Chain A
Amino acid sequence: MENQKFYYDNKIVKLFILATMVWGVVGILVGLVAALQLAFPVFNFGLEFTTFGRVRPVHTNAIIFAFVGNAIFAGVYYSMQKLLKTRMFSDRLSKFHFWGWQTVIVLAAVSLLAGLTTGKEYAELEWPIDILLALVWIAFGWNMIGTLIVRRVQHIYAAIWWYLATFLGIAILHVVNSFELPISLFKSYSIYAGAQDAVVQWWYGHNAVAFFLTTPFLGLMYYYLPKAANRPIYSYKLSIIHFWSLIFLYMWAGPHHLLYQALPEWAQALGVTFSIMLIAPSWGGMINGLLTLRGAWDRVRDSASLKFLVVAVTAYGMSTFEGPMMSVKSINQITHFTDWTIAHVHIGGMGWNGGIVFGMLYWLVPQLFKTKLFSEKLANIHFWMSTLAILVYAIPLYWAAVTQWLMWREYTPEGFLAYPNFLETLTQIVPMYTVRVFSGVLFLGGFVIMLFNLAKTMGAGSFVNNEASEAPALVLEGKRNAVAETIHRWLERKAVRFSILVFIALSIGGAVEIIPMIFIKSNVPTIETVTPYTPLELEGRDIYISEGCYLCHSQMVRPFRWETDRYGEYSKIGEFVYDHPFQWGSRRTGPDLGRAGVIGGPMYKNAAWHYNHFMDPQKMNEQSIMPNYAWLAVKNVNLGQTPKKIRAMQTLDVPYEDGYDAKAVDDLMAQGQKISDELKTAGIEIEPQKQMVALIAYMHKLGRDISAGVDPADATAAEPTTTVSDTTGLKQVTLLTNAEDLAAGKKLFQATCVVCHKADGTGIPPAFPNLVDNEWIKGNSPSQVFHSISEGNIAKGMVPYKTMFSEKQITQLASYVLTELPNENSK
């Protein structure tokens, strides 16, 4: 048969490689900033655009979609052409894919930093970008299927099965999860609410991991590992079994992100069981990879590329065992909401994805540029830095996770929470966050070394945009010979039928979980007392979403005693029916806010507390790592959009009365005025239409409705004044230094304070704090001590002395406590 001449498109591969290199630096750097922010809140820079809540989605999106995404496309465009012996189907589609994808990335970065987000993890991009993303993705798929059709190879190799599953999987996930109702170019609401939204979102979230971070990488492994090692694939049969079982089972496992949460039990059970069943199919990939290296291990020693690939496959094996274990309910209560999950994904991200990308690049770049790698030694250094970085990342965070979990559930012998203050459990693990920063530095350093190495390699080589090759035209075989050809072998030469089967395998899991959640009413039992958000609360909620509060605060109290004691009644499915989107969160860097609005509950704080806390969290709690949100007191709610938002909610079946949109702004202002008046009594001047007021209103709505039936007398008998101590902006106090005042202070101290704090100030720990050590619960500035004496802390037994002593006397006392008392003690 006569050979046909054709040219491989190497240029598109090069473009994607360059983009991978650029976005990799950006993604890791942003991750490093986020890590710094959690260790040292000063790195939030006091700007609204650079708070952790906005930076973190930029990191995740940059790593997943920009760095990993471009790397996938580079690997796919190169290997597909070689495996199918043809140029990509359409240069135009290739180009549109490349530039479209980079546009999506830039728009994503800008919009996320600007606070434009849907509030759904890993699907944060607003609707216009979602649409662009869908178009680009379709171009990719069209190009891929077109290339399959014009191929010159009879059978489709395993790597390409995985590429197909990637295209189809992501297409299904992205479309279903992105149904949003736009109210403007920059804002939309998820059409799903509460538990339904949660099921859809984590079906998406989990499978974005599957079909963006796993299946394409298995495809890359099936090409680049045997190429780099020059070994045959160990088992063709294993390829088939683990491919079909993995893509089918993965789609069911999403609810394992929602265990012990407000989700029907059957959905949780599917999440648990399908995750467990995923171990073997996942390990099938690892084994086929590792066994392919039999007889080539000596080469691993000499090749950084192979080293990366081996560590990648090993990390994949670890992650895919750890993941199912984390999906068992009893283990999930440890790993969920702690840093365990964060460590888990970084083993996957840095080890598996990073490893495959680096291993691929070290092999592919010299291939493309027809030269040798500039320095194998530098690549080795990169390998060791990278591997060390994974350990320095994961070990401290595992440690942190277990520590924090143990502290959350620790009880005193009396049966009360040993660490009732959430902050204590965070402060304990912040040193681990500092260690993590070093991991980021190592990983970034290694990456930069790779950039240098690859740039040098490119410089030394010669690159051909269009690489000539030739192969005979494909004559498709006819009917299946039932004896000589297995059904699967037959299917491998039927690209379209193969794709349809993949599509069906992918669709079943999501359909079985999502359709009943939406259409069977009993899955979401309603609660009569739960009311829609007022316009002000709705605006406040949008600010909460926009600032990415859900990235550190959950709104999901799980049915554990140690959670209900800390936060209040556990969350019920029916409470979230007006939540478009749901905001349950996935990590508690700060406390759960699901019951922040329950007056008399353990999480309730009054408006003035919230105001002061948003203005400067560190002033309220020195050790807090929350960024400040001072601009919320300056910026106005966009009242022009409020009626539109109400109408959008009505479209989504939220029962506002007809024509309520016309009254919404008046209602909003009236409610804002109330909060503004309340703040005034605490000496805070703020106009009712400020964003801060809306956010406070939202805080006070959270979880409140479920206890609406409670006798209001009970509510007031509970501790409404526990927060009074924090109401006013702190009075400026200057310490008194003359002997007379200090003597008066001493006299007062001995008359009043010694009962609890002892004459030498050492207190009766833990009930009554030591005043002469260096630890201060409420701060040790003159103003803070004055404040503590004056306002007290009724919940802890500290009496507010403002009614008994004059300000002068309190100042004398504070001066004595801060200046003479420690000296007396040291004598």
Chain B
Amino acid sequence: MSEEKNKVTEHDPVTDHEYDGIKELDNPPPRWIMLLFYITIGWSILYGAYFFWLKQGDHQDAEYVKKSAQHDEKYHITALSTDDMVAFTDEAALTEGKEVFTAMGCMACHGLNGEGNAIGPNLTDNYWINGCNIKDVFNVVKNGVPAKGMTPFKSQLSDEKIQKVASYVLSLVGTNPANAKAPQGEECKEESNS
């Protein structure tokens, strides 16, 4: 046993330290561990300098703003202002609006063709409960009318899509579908939809 021990440690410098039989060798720390230590120290200094001295790199508030904007861009999430909003009239946008209408199940309450049913009002006549311009319809779809049972879709649809479905809804006016529900609300006085 002692032979083997000697073999392994014959080159090890020995100290005269001994504690309850435990000896300590005088080996230097492996070079790589010291190198690792210096590298981490250097990295830390650079890290601090980068953020606080050179003032490069975003702190977390700025990072959030930036990443959030990227997110909006990626998913085409743009908060639209309703101030100057105009209804889409082009075929492509209205088709997309109709797709949203179907996908979100608007027909559950408003009928397959917007004729309305026991739950929701007719969307094809010119009488409106919550306003008849694009701005009003947009807001109703976005924020809903929870008290009456209209779902807010803001957590399920982007503003852009809401604008499209609202445009589609407005385009239904005058289509006279079968089984139309009796008019509710006030007659539209505006020339807002085409």
Give A contacts to B, CB under 8 Å. Answer: 79, 82-83, 85, 153, 155, 157-158, 222-223, 226-227, 231-239, 241-242, 245, 260, 265-266, 268-269, 272-274, 276-277, 279-281, 283-284, 287, 291, 294-295, 411, 413-416, 420, 559-561, 564, 570, 602, 717-722, 752, 755-756, 764, 767-768, 792, 794-797, 799-800, 803-804
Contacts and interface: CB of A to CB of B under 8 A. Distances in A.
Contacts of B117: 752
Nearest to B44: A273
B77 to A, nearest CB: 5
Interface string B95-117: 00000000111011100100001
Contacts of A279: 36, 40
B118 A721 contact: no
Contacts of A242: 29
A295 B9 contact: yes
B20 interface: yes
B146 A719 contact: yes
Contact of B30 (A223, A277, A287, A794): A287
Given A280-B34, A416-B156, 16 more contacts: A83-B19, A83-B20, A155-B19, A157-B17, A222-B22, A232-B9, A234-B27, A238-B27, A238-B33, A277-B40, A280-B37, A415-B72, A561-B67, A564-B64, A764-B105, A797-B108
A718 B40 CA distance: 50
9 contacts: A153-B19, A227-B22, A234-B25, A234-B27, A242-B29, A269-B51, A414-B158, A559-B64, A755-B105
Interface in B9-62: 9, 12, 14-15, 17, 19-30, 33-34, 36-37, 40-41, 43-44, 47-48, 51-52, 59-61
A273 B72 CA distance: 32
Interface residues of B, number: 68
B158 A415 contact: yes
Contacts of A719: 144, 146, 152
A182 B19 CA distance: 47
Contact of A272 (B47, B103, B108, B156): B47
B48 A227 contact: no
B189 interface: no
B52 A283 contact: no
B173 interface: no
Given A295-B5, A414-B157, A276 B40 contact: yes
A767 B37 contact: no
A237 B17 CA distance: 12
Describe A's contact surface by its main secondary structure: helix
Residue with the greatest number of chain B CB neighbours at <10 A, chosen from A233, A236, A411, A795: A236
Contacts of B68: 561, 564
Given A269-B48, A561-B71, A245 B108 contact: no
B79 interface: no
A157 B77 contact: no
A242 B29 CA distance: 10
B54 to A, nearest CB: 13
Contact of B151 (A227, A561, A794): A794
Contacts of B72: 415
Given A233-B24, A294-B8, A794 B146 contact: yes
A317 to B, nearest CB: 11
A549 B48 CA distance: 36
A720 B146 contact: yes
Contacts of B8: 294-295
A41 B28 CA distance: 55
Given A238-B27, A277-B44, A233 B33 contact: no
B24 A232 contact: yes
A148 to B, nearest CB: 13
Contacts of A411: 75
Contacts of B103: 767
Contacts of B77: 415
B144 to A, nearest CB: 7
B179 to A, nearest CB: 12
A222 B48 CA distance: 35
Contact of A559 (B14, B60, B118): B60
A88 to B, nearest CB: 15
A295 B6 CA distance: 9
Contact of B109 (A157, A232, A602, A799): A799
Contacts of A157: 17, 19-20, 22
B187 interface: no
Interface string B61-105: 101100110011011110000000000000000000000000111
B52 A560 contact: no
A155 B17 contact: yes
Contacts of A756: 105, 108
B26 A237 contact: yes
A799 B149 contact: yes
Task: Count chain A CB atoms within 10 A of each CB in B29, B37, B109, B158 and give the residue with the most.
Answer: B29
4 nearest interchain CB pairs? Answer: A415-B75, A295-B8, A280-B37, A273-B44
A423 to B, nearest CB: 17
